[in-house]
A and B are shown apart, each in its own frame.
Chain A
């Protein structure tokens, strides 16, 4: 195995920034920085609760994406889906899945595992496993990414 695209330093540093951002949400706002939960709760606000922090976190994500697109074009975008049908199917599976499983890569994979939550460890092993199987199936049965 050659690991032709391995970027250990950048990816470790990027992970540390993600960890720092999640730590700030925890220590500053008292909340878990799970993107799916924040997005879902922002779309279905609870009456009487001050959910402005969620909208601002999401604004930061989109604003950060805009800055990346401006200064480092090539870092974001370039989707691999290929067809609109596959885009819709993938997004719907992600949406239903994270709502049922109550978390995604950030909520379970980073914050949940960071708390040593057994639920999050099981969820993370599960979504990595089905992700691996899906990519394997795409290679075998065509539509390779």
Chain B
């Protein structure tokens, strides 16, 4: 019962998330590249995407802490990692390079696969394979930061 409602919320959230990305312009890689192109024809739109999204989410965090438990799950799975280390910064740095090269971060990459272009399909397949491979390598290395339970989703 609860799991069923949780799954419905997840499905509708995915649809809404995709609509938001589309309306915001994040599914247009040229627009994302224009946001990163601060010395050229800069398009600051993505700053407003972040302002809108972070503002709403921050209110939800306050509501969640006040409520104590989620609606359709036993407890909140808050990310538990706290340390700022080379792995965090190095990973973010590599991600930013790929983002700049392509104009795609994971959300728009998943949404855009529906366009069925060869580039979108190749991008998602390579993304999935490298996620799988990196997860294995990081888990095998067993560093403190690789705790699966603690991963920030």
Interface string of B46-89 (1 = CB under 8 A from A): 10111111111111110110010111111111110111100111
Interface residues of A (CB under 8 A from B): 1-8, 10-41, 43-44, 46, 50, 52-54, 56-69, 72, 75-81, 84, 86-120, 122-124, 126-136, 138-139, 145
Confirm or deny: B1 has a beta carbon within 8 angstroms of a beta carbon on chain A: no
> For B58, what are the chain A residues with a Cβ–Cβ distance below 8 Å?
114-116
A to B CB contacts below 8 Å, 22 in the list: A11-B25, A15-B49, A15-B50, A21-B14, A26-B61, A26-B76, A29-B73, A30-B77, A57-B17, A60-B13, A63-B18, A64-B14, A76-B114, A89-B101, A95-B98, A101-B94, A102-B151, A104-B105, A115-B58, A118-B84, A130-B93, A136-B37
5 pairs of A and B residues whose beta carbons are closest in the complex? A60-B14, A64-B18, A14-B24, A15-B52, A37-B153
Q: A27, A78, A115: which contacts B63 (Cβ < 8 A)?
A: A27
Whether A99 lies near B18 (C-beta < 8 A) is no
Per the bound structure, the CA–CA distance linking A109 and B99 in Å amounts to 13
> For B67, what are the chain A residues with a Cβ–Cβ distance below 8 Å?
27
Confirm or deny: B23 has a beta carbon within 8 angstroms of a beta carbon on chain A: yes
| Interface SS of B by simple majority | helix
Whether B10 lies near A14 (C-beta < 8 A) is no
B133 to chain A: closest CB distance in Å? 8
Nearest residue, chain A, Cβ from B99: A131
Q: A119, A131, A138: which contacts B152 (Cβ < 8 A)?
A: A119
Q: A89, A106, A116, A123: which contacts B88 (Cβ < 8 A)?
A: A123
Whether B101 lies near A110 (C-beta < 8 A) is no
Whether B152 lies near A108 (C-beta < 8 A) is yes
Given contact pairs A15-B49, A92-B126, A101-B90, A139 touches B40 in the complex (Cβ within 8 A): yes
B132 to chain A: closest CB distance in Å? 5
Given contact pairs A15-B24, A112-B152, A60 touches B10 in the complex (Cβ within 8 A): yes
> For B82, what are the chain A residues with a Cβ–Cβ distance below 8 Å?
118-119
Whether A35 lies near B7 (C-beta < 8 A) is no
Whether A94 lies near B70 (C-beta < 8 A) is no
Whether A59 lies near B11 (C-beta < 8 A) is yes
Q: B20, B39, B116: which contacts A16 (Cβ < 8 A)?
A: B20
Per the bound structure, the CA–CA distance linking A13 and B51 in Å amounts to 10
> For B129, what are the chain A residues with a Cβ–Cβ distance below 8 Å?
95
Per the bound structure, the CA–CA distance linking A11 and B46 in Å amounts to 7
Whether A41 lies near B153 (C-beta < 8 A) is yes
